[in-house]
Chain A
Amino acid sequence: MKLSLPIFRAGENRAKQLGAALFETARNAVENLPNAFPPRRTEVPQPNDPNSDVGRIMGFFTDTTLCIGCKACEVACKQWNQLPSDGFNFTGNSYDNTGHLSATTWRHVAFKEKLADDGSSSNRWLMLSDVCKHCESAPCEHSCPTGAIVYNNFGDVYVQNDICNGCGYCISACPFGVLGRADHPHDDGHAHKCTLCMDRQEEDLTPACAKSCPTSSIQFGAVEDLRVKARERVEELHGRGNSQAYLYGCDSVGDYGPLNSFFLLDDHPNEYNLPVAPPQPFRGQGKRYGAALFTGVALAAFTFLSFHGAKRRG
């Protein structure tokens, strides 16, 4: 294997460059130390913060009662983001042949055909266009060892693919199973997921999936406006007699913060392959370090006393 470290610029003093790199690294280390054992919620960009360049936090509201399962969002996402095909798979699970979100599927339409229990004709068809949840406090962002995953200036979780190292930690950290690593012979071996069409947003365009949705099942906008809209929609549905409708991810669930791309559901979350209460894996990280170091120090003390005591006796 050839080991090449492309860190030096040609034509300049290497020792100087190395010194500068070391200084930079040390400065990073000192600046980052206070974040080692973060508070309950990791810091997220706030529009009101004068130091941040975040405008309004943008997100999706996906209303499953309006979804007709046309998969226009899947196709639009694939086209705009130039994602490769997943192959012509047939799963036999209704019209869903994608199965789950992955590195090359950033919108996934779930289909679930449900027969009424009593044999009446009120059969139902659940459809949901699944997407990265853009968590307000994202475990993937927290886990990323290279800082490739960031909150972008629209308040959304974004993987910088030129920085991603392909370690796979975010894939285990995501409680929704959103992220995937592109591992095929032509792929880059990096983690990929929905960018909330950051490139389109920078040009004031609606993300491709929301733009293509023919029934406004996928709505894009500032999250605070979407939350108001979503609550009104639930009340409207309740008034029409659909008492099952509820919002998923609009508010915090347990210790998990609200989602910037949230859903209106019509059934149990597990029917759509969504967790009931996603765990926040980094909550209590400091305690776990503490438990490890406590064990280590106790065993080290025992070791030292064994050696020391034996010396005295013998």
Chain B
Amino acid sequence: MDKSSNPPSDDFSWSPNLRHRPDPNRVTRRDPAQMLDSPERSGNVPVSPANRTLTRPREGQSPASPQAPQTEPSYYDISMLKAPLWKWEIAAYFFVGGISGGAYTIARLAERADKEKYRDVTRLGTYLSFASSLACPPLLIHDLGDPRRFHHMLRVFKPASPMSLGTWTLVAHSGAVAAGVIREWLRRPHAAGREKEIRRIESMPGKALLAVHDAAGVPLALLLAGYTGVLLSCTANPLWCKNPWIAPLFMAGGFSNAAGAISLALDCTSKDNDHAHRILENVRTAAGVAEATSLAGYFKHAGPKARALTHGSMRKTMRFSIGALIASEILGRLSFAGKAKRPVRMLSSILGLAGGFALRWAFVYGGHEAAKDPHTARLSSRPSH
């Protein structure tokens, strides 16, 4: 057994909760068998004279760029960039955070449009937003490896860094959503004997308070749904670097996922809400159009730098995501009568949510592949960008 893999635990009492996991950027010992079997060493691949090096570069190990030109100058095909350290927690956080922001916005807007008629949309949207905002800090803490580190994020407010702005937005948004939950709780339908309190809330000072709450809460919710895209685009990673379309994509995705989730929750809790369903479906379509536009813009802006999504390991995830989003849209638009209506609508919502999750998954894990691939890494540092 390797002794170094089992360090004595009493050595570092200062970080009892810190999880350790392998750094994807670590240079590891190469497999000797792989070295012997590489096509170039066995003489199958002609080496162009311009790129003759005594110690050959590691060709054929970058599946994302099978057509990388052989003559391109490179340092042994080692990527000049470091792979991101963000894993599934961050993909899940992007998804859940988007739902939280979108659901809260939809709930508040429905309430502003008609308090009584869309009571269910408001209530479920707020609760859904609350539940998903509760899920965010544990995901981030799991990513950071220590609960104290989440607290340390809040010792400084540095809005120039999207991550700091985002952490503060998440905290403020959670507060706003908690206040929204209290509002829903006070207005709950079976609050017998609470008419006086409800009337008090709806009287003038209460109204002003609610207006202030909405004026603060909705922008925070929008920022929570959108900042994640800015966070990604402010990196040197080829897949994300300076791409202005990621933020609108995540924002639109937040809206469509939230509309789908609210529709699903409505279907699960009550039988008859066709009217609200129709409106949510319209919202989902509008958000889907915005999502498709942003995705097209994204691919146009990224060009060959998006190889990880178009040709790499995230190709299937991306295909599934786009397919699921389109299928959910079609299913939602099909009009079924009678018993089939509700299951089809639920299936459509679930498909949309799965597609949205797969999209974020592909963006996070595609970033790993893009940074590890030397050819794509070089592309992101061309003078034209």
Task: Say yes or no: B160 contacts A268, CB within 8 Å.
Answer: no
Task: Say yes or no: A169 contacts B244, CB within 8 Å.
Answer: no
Question: Taking each of A98, A99, A115, A185, which has the highest tally of chain B beta carbons within 10 Å of its own beta carbon?
Answer: A185
Interface residue? B127 (CB, 8 A): no
Task: Say yes or no: B381 contacts A36, CB within 8 Å.
Answer: no
Bound together, the chains give a CA A93 to CA B55 distance in angstroms of 6
Place the interface of chain B in its size category.
35 or more
Closest to B367 in A: A172
Q: Which of A146, A166, A168, A254 contacts B156 (CB 8 A)?
A: A146
Task: Say yes or no: A1 contacts B53, CB within 8 Å.
Answer: no
Bound together, the chains give a CA A279 to CA B109 distance in angstroms of 40
Interface residue? A205 (CB, 8 A): no
Closest to B275 in A: A314
Q: How many residues of A contact B (CB 8 A)?
A: 109
Question: Taking each of A1, A93, A182, A307, which has the highest tally of chain B beta carbons within 10 Å of its own beta carbon?
Answer: A307
Shortest beta-carbon distance from B59 to chain A in Å: 13
Bound together, the chains give a CA A2 to CA B13 distance in angstroms of 13
Q: Residues of A contacting B234 with CB < 8 Å?
A: 139, 142-143, 173, 281-282, 285, 288
Interface residue? A91 (CB, 8 A): yes
Task: Say yes or no: A303 contacts B367, CB within 8 Å.
Answer: no
Q: Residues of A contacting B229 with CB < 8 Å?
A: 288, 292
Closest to A178 in B: B82
Q: Which of A188, A271, A307 contacts B73 (CB 8 A)?
A: A271
> What is the number of contacts between chain A and chain B, taking CB atoms within 8 Å?
329
Known contacts A273-B75, A281-B236; is A172 also within 8 Å of B159 by CB? no
What sequence of 0s and 1s flags, for each residue 152-196 of chain A, a beta carbon within 8 Å of any chain B beta carbon? 000000000001011111011111110111111111110000000
Interface residue? B81 (CB, 8 A): yes
Query: Interface residues, chain A, CB within 8 Å of chain B?
Result: 1-7, 25, 28-29, 32-33, 35-38, 42, 86-87, 89-94, 96, 98-100, 102-103, 110, 112-115, 117, 139, 142-147, 163, 165-169, 171-177, 179-189, 253-254, 267-268, 270-279, 281-285, 287-289, 291-300, 302-304, 306-308, 310-311, 314
Query: Interface residues, chain B, CB within 8 Å of chain A?
Result: 4-5, 7, 11-12, 15-18, 20-23, 25-30, 35, 49-50, 52-55, 72-76, 78-82, 84-86, 105-106, 109-110, 112-114, 117-118, 121, 143-149, 151-165, 167-168, 218, 222-223, 225-227, 229-231, 233-237, 240-242, 244-248, 250-252, 255, 275, 278-279, 282-283, 286-287, 290, 294, 367, 371, 377-378, 380-383, 385
